[in-house]
Structure 1
Amino acid sequence: MKWSFEKLQGYQKEPFTEQGTLDLKADLLERYPQEILDATPFTVQVSAVADNGDVIIDADVEGTVTVPSSRSLTPFSLPLKFHFSEVYVNTKAAFNRYENEVVVIKVDDDGKVDFDKAVADNVIVQIPMQVLSPAERAGAKMPAGEDWEVISEADFNEQHAEAKQVDPRLASLKQFYADDDDKA
C-alpha cells in the first residue's frame, strides 16, 4: 500500500480508511534474514487524518512470523497483533512540532507514504529480544553438545557459589593474607 501524501492531506474532517492484506514475506526475509525465517500475510486496518499539514496514521496489524528461538535456534511461529501510530511530515522543520516519544517520518522525495515499509519496520520491533519456543518456556531440556551445554541462570549462580567455597585445608592461608593487610 502506497498513498500520495498530498491526497492524504485532504482528509481533515473525515479520516481516510482502508483495510486489506499485505504479503511482506519477501521484504522481511530480505531485510531481516537472521530474525525472521517466514511470515504469513498480515491483515491491516488503517486510518489516516491530516493535521496542520501533517498526516497521522493509525494502524492495527495481525499476522504470524516464524522466528528462531534465542536459546536453541529452533524455528517456531510467533503470532503478532499490534497497533502503531506514525506521523508523516513533508519538511524537516516539522519534526520540531512533536515530542521525542512520537514517531515522525519524513515523506520520501516522490511524495508517497510507503505503508508496506512502515508495517515491516513495526513487525521487527514487535519481536522480543529473547524469544523462546513454547517447549522451551514449558521447561524443555537445554541444548547441549560436545564439551558444552546451556545452563539456566540459577544453575550458573549455584556453580559460581560452589566455586567460591574455600577448601578447608587451605582456610588457614586466608588468615595469612589478612594479617599482612593489617601490618601495612
Structure 2
Amino acid sequence: MFHIYDIQKSPDGIAFDKVFDLEKELQERNKEILGLSPVAVTGKVRFESGFFFLDYQMTYTITLASSRSMEPVHLDENQSVNELFVASEAALKEQDLVDEDLVLVVEDDQINLAESVADNILLAIPIKVLTPEEEAGADLPSGTNWTVMTEAGYQSNAQAKKEANSPFAQLQGLFDEEDK
C-alpha cells in the first residue's frame, strides 16, 4: 500500500518488488480458480502532472478447470499492468476521464497494490481453458445422439443440410447419366 504523500515526495517514484499470496482471497471472489501460486510483482509507482502512475509486471501460475473436461489446467501468466490514478480532489476536474474508466480515483489517500494485483488477475482469466492434449487434438466430446462441434463445423454441417433439403437436390446428377 502506498500513501499518495509518500509518492509525491519521491521525485523518481517508489520502486517495489513484492510477492503476494492471494489464493484464498481470489478463490472467494471467483469459484472457478482451483489454485494460485504466490504472485511476484515488480514495478514502480510515481507522481507526475497531477496523476499517479502505477506500472508493474506480475508473474504467477493459476489453476483453472478445463472448459471441456473439467481437468485442472495450470496456466503460467506474465502480465504487464499500467494504471493511472487521480487524487479525489482532482477527480472533479478530470470527471470525464473517470467516467470513461481511463483513470481510477485514489481512495483514502492510498494506492493498494495487492487490490490492484488481485483485480487484474481476475480480469485476465480466460474464457476458454484447455489441457495441452485437448488443444492438440481435434476430437471433441460426443455421446449418444449428441456431439460438440466447432463453429466452422456447425456452419459446414448447416450448409450441407441446406443443400440436401433444396428442391433442386433431386435433379443433381440427372444430366450426368444421359451423357454416358
TM-score, normalised via structure 1 length: 0.78
The aligned counterpart of 1:40 is 37
1:33 to partner: Cα distance? 1.4
Cα distance change on mapping 1:140 and 1:122 into 2, 3 Å: same
Q: 1:83 and 2:93 equivalent?
A: no
Q: Provide Cα deviations, 1:94-126, integer angstroms capped at 9, x if missing partner.
A: 535859988421112x22211111111111222
CA contact (8 A) 2:61 2:75 kept: yes
Letter of the 1:56 partner, please give it.
Answer: F
The whole-number CA distance in structure 2 between the counterparts of 1:89 and 1:167 is 62
Q: 1:116 and 2:105 equivalent?
A: no
The two structures, once aligned, show a CA RMSD in angstroms of: 2.8
CA contact (8 A) 2:98 2:105 kept: no
Cα distance change on mapping 1:20 and 1:71 into 2, 3 Å: same
Cα distance change on mapping 1:162 and 1:8 into 2, 3 Å: same
List alignment gaps of at least 5 residues for structure 2.
Answer: 171-180
Q: Provide Cα deviations, 1:125-180, integer angstroms capped at 9, x if missing partner.
A: 22333232211110153223454321223332232122112458x5499xxxxxxx
The aligned counterpart of 2:62 is 65
CA contact (8 A) 1:67 1:77 kept: yes
Q: Where in structure 1 do 4 or more consecutive aligned residues deviate above 6 Å?
A: 99-102
Letter of the 1:30 partner, please give it.
Answer: E
Q: 1:107 and 2:106 equivalent?
A: yes
Letter of the 1:67 partner, please give it.
Answer: L
The whole-number CA distance in structure 2 between the counterparts of 1:172 and 1:120 is 58
List alignment gaps of at least 5 residues for structure 1.
Answer: 174-184
Q: 1:53 aligns with which of 22, 28, 50?
A: 50
Letter of the 1:31 partner, please give it.
Answer: R
Cα distance change on mapping 1:172 and 1:72 into 2, 3 Å: closer
Letter of the 1:21 partner, please give it.
Answer: V
The aligned counterpart of 1:93 is 92
State the aligned residue count.
169
The whole-number CA distance in structure 1 between the counterparts of 2:59 and 2:140 is 31
TM-score, normalised via structure 2 length: 0.79
1:1-184 correspondence runs (5 A): 2-11=1-10, 13-34=11-32, 36-91=33-88, 92-96=91-95, 103-108=102-107, 110-139=108-137, 141-166=139-164, 171=168
